[in-house]
Amino acid sequence: MHRRNILWGTIAAFGAAFTASRASAATEAAAPSAKLKVVYHLSDLDKVSFVLGNIQNHIEGVGGPDNVTIALVIHGQALRAFHSASAHPDVSKRVGQFSKAGIEFAACGNTMKSQKVGLNDLLPGFVAAETGGVVRIAELQSQGYLYLRP
């Protein structure tokens, strides 16, 4: 009789431990995860609309701009698409919307010098990456941002 009680007690203890571990796993799965941080890298002029579309899809895919932190770092020929004097109306509209949603638009300081433009020459919402676009990307990656180059 004593052995049977020990056996049933052991089985009950394993069952309780298993149930507790499953409950803990379910709680962890339901817990909100850390806010995702993403840096998009854009240097190709012909990919400007594509990348802006990707950012829009990203925001919608996570349920809105409050659920993700996005930075767009632009250098090279792509920066020409963001000159306020010549920007396509759709690009201007999207930059305005994204800036209001908290997306960082960083223009490479080296590209700005080579194109002879200042922040005032770019669409509103830009900041200058004075040390360079690729340096800014590396800084963001060191802060936990995921790197995307569509």
Task: Please state the pTM of the whole predicted model.
Answer: 0.77
pLDDT value at residue 32: 53
> Phi and psi dihedrals of 131, rounded to 5?
-85, 0
Domain extents in the chain? 1-31, 36-148
Q: Judge whether residue 148 has pLDDT over 70.
A: yes
Band (35; pLDDT cuts 50, 70, 90): confident
Mean pLDDT of the chain: 86
CATH architecture assigned to 36-148: 3-Layer(aba) Sandwich (3.40)
